[in-house]
Amino acid sequence: MTLASTADLVHNAARIGTGIAAFNVVHLETAEALVAASESSGRPIILQISQNCADYHGGLEPIGLAALALARSAGTPVAVHLDHAEREDIVAEAIDLGFGSVMFDGGALPYDENVELTARVAAQAHAAGVFVEGELGRVGGKDGAHAPGVRTDPEEAIEFVRATGVDALAVAVGSSHAMTDRTARLDLDLITLLRDALDVPLVLHGSSGVPDTELRAGIRAGMTKINISTHLNGVFTRAVHSWMGAHPEVVDSRRYVGEGRDALVPEAARLLDLIGAAQTQTSPMLMR
């Protein structure tokens, strides 16, 4: 199986009215677990590497090349995506490495500056055949901006997509980054309005805090790309804590990190099935 195209995975999900899972890579072991989950479930997946993750590894290239290698050798369609990039240089590096998509996050910037920078990134990426995700307003969490009550305005979203040329849009509809409990409630009416107003797929960030029933409902209402990180990190970390507590004498880190990797596979596979099987109650979006 060759490296999959993010555009193909997202557009196919939008056409048939299902979701496509985009799970974040933290280190090699999470990438291995996510690919194993894709293969065990038979579902496609988008591996996401954030700017923060790249910085942790001392640069995008080490973890990026590892993810690309895993994707190319996978038995299921696996794409690689740059998540929450706030610097143009890392976008250029992702394009050069062979990433199929990039997300430029100008959500914390004033609207006009966000439009200018996102449009510039989109033009650069499109020249290389790379799919671009933008963000209008910061999705809640992390630095406290955009509390869960904040919502994306459909009219502003229409203008933003037109002005920037992005291929997908991350919207604020009730989710929040870095939630460790799954209690978020999505604004389903707003999702439907945004879906009907825009001709690009919608992206749900902060999905770790969204319970299964709400994820299904959000996809039925019109969300397509579903991003999850914190919830899966918690599964991994709890498995490591449990194993180390039972084996305090062990010093070989592969033993406990391997436990985290193995524990992550079934939960990631379960979520892949949940997201890939959910389907809209109305006509799926027709991509132009």
From the annotation, which residues make up the binding site? 84, 105, 135, 177, 205
Rounded to 5 degrees, what angle do the CA atoms 170, 176, 181 make?
140
For residue 49, give the H/E element and its range.
strand 45-50
Q: Is the dihedral angle over the CA atoms 33, 38, 40, 41 positive or is it negative?
A: positive
Q: Measure the CA–CA gap between 142 and 175, rounded to whole angstroms.
A: 12
Pick from 48, 25, 163: nearest CA to 103: 48
Taking the chain, what is the end-to-end CA distance rounded to the nearest angstrom? 28
Q: Residues forming the annotated binding site for Zn(2+)?
A: 84, 105, 135, 177, 205
Catalytic residue among 55, 83, 96, 273: 83
Residue with structure tokens 């293969």?
Answer: 39
Query: Do residues 267 and 232 make contact, with C-beta atoms less than 8 angstroms apart?
Result: yes
Residue with structure tokens 């038995």?
Answer: 75
Q: Is residue 273 annotated as a catalytic residue, yes or no?
A: no
Please give the full DSSP string across 190-209, using - where no structure is assigned.
HHHHHHHH-SS-EEE--GGG
Show which residues are catalytic: 83
